Amino acid sequence: MPLTVELGAVRFAYGASPVLDGAELQLSAGEFVVLAGHNGSGKSTLLKLCLGLLYPQAGTVRVLGGSPDDAPIRRRIGYAPQGLRVVTSIPVSVGEVVTAGLTPVRPIMRGFPDEDVRIAAALAAVGMEDLAHECLFELSGGQQQRTILARALVADPPLLLLDEPTTGIDQTLRPRLAAELRARADRGATVLAVSHDPDDFHAVLDRILVISDGTIRQLTHEQFHDHFEVS
Amino acid sequence: MRSIFTASWAVRAYIAVAAVGLTAPIIGSFLVQRRLSLIGDGIGHLAFAGVAIGVALSIAPVWGALGTAILGALALERLRTKGRIAGDLALAFVFYGALAFALVLLSLRHRLDASAIGVLFGNPYVASWGDVITIVVLCAVAVAAIVPFYPQLLAVALDEETARAAGLPVDGLNLLTVTLTALLVAAGMRVVGLLLIASLLVIPIAAGSRLAHSFRRTISWGVVVGVVSCLGGLLFALGQGNVHPGGTMVLASIAGFVAASVAGRRAARRHPRQAGS
């Protein structure tokens, strides 16, 4: 399978102390990977490097075979940031937020011809098929989080970068979301989910990666629990 | 009484304020959503400096205001996004610096008179057909620029970081927003005045947000409140005869906000929406 995310000897620091120092990572199409680590260990930073929102101070970052700086590359990444970042000054409907995931980079570019079908499918994937016209801010925190997830899924991107995607979502709904992400991986997408709790995805994920002391290493599920219980 | 409906000067005033009342909420929606409600005020102050420059260079005040407002708005946005200066601090510098510059320049040219001060508060009764055409064209350009960029502007207004991550030209879209704000300020200078035009960017949209459950519907309601309050405020001023129309238009939009808040709360009580897990 082709590589979709490649980090080579990446270093990134906020100030003097690096959060990533010589980090190496390779992900392939069709992989479902959870990235774990303590608070401040650099998980969200790694996602932002892959999105071109931050630049490595050393090393290389390649996604989908190119630079994350390129707009056409970024357009093929589905991103769900941590928490609700949608500004709350004016009411916005769930459908409007999800539609933002289909926005073409330039107005002259054609959007998706089947926009309505895609929006309905993305909302169905997160169990919100009947809520497209609801105001986002009148929904529960879990529904808001699922809306953000639907925005990341709506364009059916080949790379999904999800920062704590299950935060605030009911325990009963998490297996459904995990199955949906697995299905996307099985269709060839790469799913990289930052999570404090890989148990949410235990039944469906391929690998658990942990960032520790600026580097990334792979752990088994048992090793992960041993590691975090000891530390 | 009939003349306030059919007199040429009244018709010109109706057309001018309706154009501004329609356009201001459309642009204002993106400013309010990005929590930049006061930027219109800052650009208004910049435009006053442009009026003074226009007077000094013997060019029409509206073009001096337009040029200065656009250049100043672009500089302001750049300062804000580069993080060199906090948003409110940047606005404060613009507010006071531009106003002071205009006062100094106008007084140096011995032109600190009623006509110069008049642009701060506007007067739709004295708008010529040339003024009306300029206002309508500036408003039409602003709306025509927003329509094709609406999905991109909305995506940025909703979540700037995710829009940037998706490859959208966020900086360019933000510059477009402040440029269109400058266009609107220059357009509204004659009819509402530079000190009050910013209120029409904000208050009708705030009213619309009390009635709607989506961004698009908020804009629709905002346009209704903007046009009705501008025309209603103008009619009231014309009928009363002694009050300033700029003031009545803004007060009418505030009344619209209060009415929308009451109506929105009643609607919410009648049709409570259920939030699930």
In angstroms, the CA B224 to CA B247 distance is 19
> Which residues are paired to A101 by β-bridges?
none
Does residue A118 fall inside a structural domain?
A: yes
More confident residue, B39 or A47: A47
pLDDT at B35 over 60: yes
Which CATH number fits the domain that encloses residue A167? 3.40.50.300
- Quickly tell me which residue has 């990446």 as its tokens: A10
- Quickly tell me which residue has 């260079």 as its tokens: B57
Domains of chain B, by residue range, sit at 3-265
SS3 A36: strand
Per the structure, the count of domains in chain A is 2
Q: What is the mean pLDDT of residues A199-216?
A: 89
Of A156, A190, A207, the one marking the end of a domain is A156
Q: Which pLDDT belongs to residue A114?
A: 84
Q: Which pLDDT belongs to residue B275?
A: 47
Residues A165 and A133 in one domain: no
> Which residues are paired to A192 by β-bridges?
A33, A161
Q: Which pLDDT belongs to residue A110?
A: 60
Of A156, A175, A201, the one marking the end of a domain is A156
Domain membership of residue A59 as a residue range: 1-76+158-231
- Quickly tell me which residue has 């500004």 as its tokens: A87
Q: What is the mean pLDDT of residues B8-36?
A: 94
> Which residues are paired to A25 by β-bridges?
A7
Confidence of residue B23 (pLDDT cuts 50, 70, 90): very high
Cα end-to-end span (Å), chain A: 35
Instruction: Nearest chain B residue to A134 by CA: give it.
Output: B213
Contact A25, A6 (CB under 8 A): yes
- What is the ipTM score, two decimals? 0.88
Residues A169 and A71 in one domain: yes
Confidence of residue B89 (pLDDT cuts 50, 70, 90): confident
**Cα radius of gyration rounded to whole Å, chain A:** 17
pLDDT tens figures, A80-111: 998 766 666 789 999 999 999 998 877 665 66
Residues A70 and A176 in one domain: yes
Nearest one of A181, A157, A156 to A169, comparing CA atoms: A181
Q: What is the mean pLDDT of residues A18-35?
A: 94
Contact A97, A86 (CB under 8 A): yes
Does residue A81 fall inside a structural domain?
A: no
The answer to whether the Cβ–Cβ distance between A90 and B218 falls below 8 Å is: yes
**Chain B contact residues (CB < 8 Å to A):** 29, 32-35, 148-149, 151-152, 154-155, 157-159, 161-169, 205, 209, 212-218, 273, 275-277
Q: Which pLDDT belongs to residue A231?
A: 47
Q: Which pLDDT belongs to residue A157?
A: 95
- H/E segment holding residue A21: strand A17-28
Residues A106 and A130 in one domain: yes
CA B85 to chain A, closest CA, distance in angstroms equals 21
The answer to whether the Cβ–Cβ distance between B277 and A71 falls below 8 Å is: no
Residues of A in contact with B217 (CB under 8 A): 91
Phi, psi of A114 (to 5 degrees): -105, 45
The answer to whether the Cβ–Cβ distance between B152 and A74 falls below 8 Å is: no
Using CB atoms, which residue from B35, B166, B214 is nearest to A87? B35
- The structure's pTM equals 0.89
Q: What rounded mean pLDDT belongs to chain B?
A: 90
Q: Which pLDDT belongs to residue B277?
A: 44
Residues A3 and A97 in one domain: no
The answer to whether the Cβ–Cβ distance between A75 and B167 falls below 8 Å is: yes
Q: What is the mean pLDDT of residues A186-192?
A: 96
Residues A162 and A131 in one domain: no
- The residues in A 115-134 lying below 8 A from B, measured between CB atoms, are 133-134
Using CB atoms, which residue from A52, A73, A90 is nearest to B209? A90
Confidence of residue B12 (pLDDT cuts 50, 70, 90): very high
pLDDT at B102 over 90: yes
pLDDT at B247 over 70: yes
In angstroms, the CA B43 to CA B91 distance is 9
SS3 B101: helix
Confidence of residue B6 (pLDDT cuts 50, 70, 90): confident
Q: What rounded mean pLDDT belongs to chain A?
A: 89
Determine whether A36 is exposed, middle or buried from the number of CB atoms within 10 Å of its CB (0-12, 13-18, 19+). Answer: buried
- H/E segment holding residue B170: helix B170-188
In angstroms, the CA B105 to CA B111 distance is 9
| Chain-centre distance for alpha carbon A219 | 20
Nearest one of B227, B246, B233 to B126, comparing CA atoms: B246
Residues A142 and A193 in one domain: no
Chains A, B: CB contacts within 8 A come to: 122
Q: What is the mean pLDDT of residues B229-235?
A: 96
Joined together, the tokens standing for residue A80 give: 């769900």
Of these ranges, A196-205, B10-19, B40-49, the one predicted with the greatest mean pLDDT is B10-19
* Cα angle A196, A198, A199; round to 5: 120
Q: Which pLDDT belongs to residue A228?
A: 65
Query: What is the dotted CATH code of the domain comprising B3-265?
Result: 1.10.3470.10
The answer to whether the Cβ–Cβ distance between A75 and B166 falls below 8 Å is: yes
pLDDT at B206 over 90: yes
Contact A56, A31 (CB under 8 A): no
Residues A173 and A66 in one domain: yes
Residues A8 and A112 in one domain: no
- H/E segment holding residue A80: strand A77-80
Of A112, A131, A156, the one marking the end of a domain is A156
Joined together, the tokens standing for residue B124 give: 């739709």
Non-local (6+) Cβ contacts of B148 within 8 A are A107, A108
pLDDT tens figures, B149-185: 999 999 999 998 999 999 999 999 999 999 999 999 9
